Amino acid sequence: MNKSKKIKNINWFFDNSYSKLPNIFKEHIKPTPVHNPELVIFNEELATDLNLDFSNVNTMNLAKLFSGNLLPEGSNTIAQAYAGHQFGHFTMLGDGRAVLLGEHLDNNSNRFDIQFKGSGRTSFSRSGDGRAVLGPMLREYVISEAIHALNIPTTRSLAVVKTGEKVVRDNLLEGAILTRVASSHLRVGTFQYITAKQNIENLNTLVDYTVERHYPQIKSSKTKALDLLNLVMENQCQLVINWMRVGFIHGVMNTDNMAISGETIDYGPCAFMDQYDPKTVFSSIDKFGRYAYSNQPPITKWNLARFAECLIPLIDKNEDASIKIVTDLIDNFQNIYEEKWLNMMRDKLGLFGEDKEDKKLINDLFNWMEKNKVDYTNTFCHLMEIKIDDKDYKDKNFIEWLNRWKKRSKLNSPSKEKQIKLMKKTNPIVIPRNHKVEEALKEANKGNLEKMNKLNAILKNPYKNQNEIEEYQVPAPISGEKYQTFCGT
Ligand code: AMP
Ligand code: MG
């Protein structure tokens, strides 16, 4: 493997702070070179946002760069250690198939982790092969970029390459590497890993590092650990509100998949809900619905409690006092969530001000949607007077509800335009419908990216009423077969 001295002018600006942390935090390891890398998709817009310029790099060298075969100068590859509660069970984990290339600073000194996913075995691989498959990596690309366009904090996708090597799963599949961009890869599980190692100095180091990187406003606070907990709670609460808003189901909210920054991370079996059902689960391994749509808020709270446990030794010298403080704080999650949720729903319905009947009005709509198996996204489109198939909305119970909504809408007498404007900021017109994602992936797997490029282009403007997108607005035809997703392997 050689460093890319020959490829100049990309403007990489690496400043690798994580690799300077004590060795317990990571393993220094290079990506395993791949046989025959081939560029599949490259996110030029994101590259520009990062102030990177690949215009002088030919396709072959792009493939070498985004496979890790050619490492840029200034990079310092590591695999990060972390732990996690996976479906409730604690395990020591780590990047088993990913390496951090380094941290790139853009022109405004914003710091971004650049990570390869699928880059070969590390000491955290356990029995895994360290590799990833083309379909799931492209799926992460599509969904993460869609989530970004929906104005929801998320990791981003810069490129996907095929490795030219087959990967053994149920059958032989095309190997691939995703280049992921994140504000960091600090997870709840990172704290759990360091806590499990029982070294208070390292725990302090991790808190200081996290604060410096994500929450510098509390740098000189006397109650830093507690403030950190509060801020992470705020961000993760806001994140799950956003997921609920657009009908996104993450699918595997293990503590190792919850970012301290509040970004959506680790796109595996995630998917968007079509018809409204709070119990919706897509993941084939989520047998008991732990990560079902309506369970996402309580699971966020559960994960935050695991984070809080890690911080207990740093909050008060007296352990009991510390436990009391964090317990009270975590117990308040429900109140914070409900208030935020109610306001988010008022926005979705274009309701200004507050009325004591709001919660009932909102819940009655949800009950109606659930009972009548009506599409979540399109119901709000219908209220915004966006043209969609309106056969579901001729139901007399819905019309009754509509009259209540119209009456409530007059409170504080906003104009219809003002109401619609508010709703248009909050309600996507187009989401990555499962059948459209599958259709695009199927073609891409055969080497034809036309459908995927079109899908990506439409998903870039989810709040805009674009022309000729009807086929992207209709839910999947009811086939009797439930849509299932699999962990991104
Ligand atoms: P995930 O389900 O992608 O969140 O991964 C959970 C853990 O399993 C992480 O520590 C991953 O690094 C590891 N892992 C997942 N797939 C593989 C693989 N093919 N080889 C090695 N480790 C893996
Ligand atoms: Mg993960």
pLDDT digits (tens, 9 = 90+) for 366-388: 999 999 999 999 999 999 999 99
Kindly list the catalytic residues: 256
Q: What is the pLDDT of residue 412?
A: 80
> pLDDT, tens digit, for every residue of 165-191?
999 999 999 999 999 999 999 999 999
334 with 466, same domain? no
Same domain as 179, residue 195: no
Ligand 1 pocket: which of 125, 173, 286 to mutate (most atoms within 8 A of CB) = 125
pLDDT at 5 over 80: no
Give tens-digit pLDDT for 149-159: 999 999 999 99
The pLDDT value recorded for residue 480 is 65
- For residues 259 and 201, state if they share a domain: yes
Residue 6 has pLDDT above 70, yes or no: no
Secondary structure element (H or E) that encloses residue 474, with its range: none
- pLDDT tens figures, 289-336: 999 999 999 999 999 999 999 999 999 999 999 999 999 999 999 999
395, 410, 394, 405: which is closest to 360 by C-alpha?
405
Say yes or no: 305 and 413 in one domain: yes
Mean pLDDT computed over every residue of the chain? 96
d(CA 372, CA 385): 20
pTM of the model: 0.97
pLDDT value of position 322: 98
- Please name which ligand lies nearest the alpha carbon of 127: 1
- Residue 290 and residue 163 share a domain: no
Which residue segment(s) compose the domain that 278 sits in? 186-429+473-489
Distance (angstroms) between ligand 2 centre and the Cα of 363 equals 34
Tokens of 151: 């104005």
Average the pLDDT over 218-237 and give the result. Answer: 98
> How many domains does the chain divide into?
3
Residues 407 and 462 in one domain: no
Write out the DSSP string of 114-163. Answer: EEEESB---TT-TTS-SBEEHHHHHHHHHHHHHHHHTT--B-EEEEEEEE
pLDDT computed for residue 1 by the predictor: 47
Contact between residue 186 and residue 210 where contact means Cβ atoms under 8 Å apart: yes
Residues 288 and 142 in one domain: no
Tell me which residue has its CA closest to atom 22 in ligand 1.
Answer: 96
Closest CA to 183 of 217, 146, 208, 156: 156
Q: Are residues 409 and 446 in the same domain?
A: no
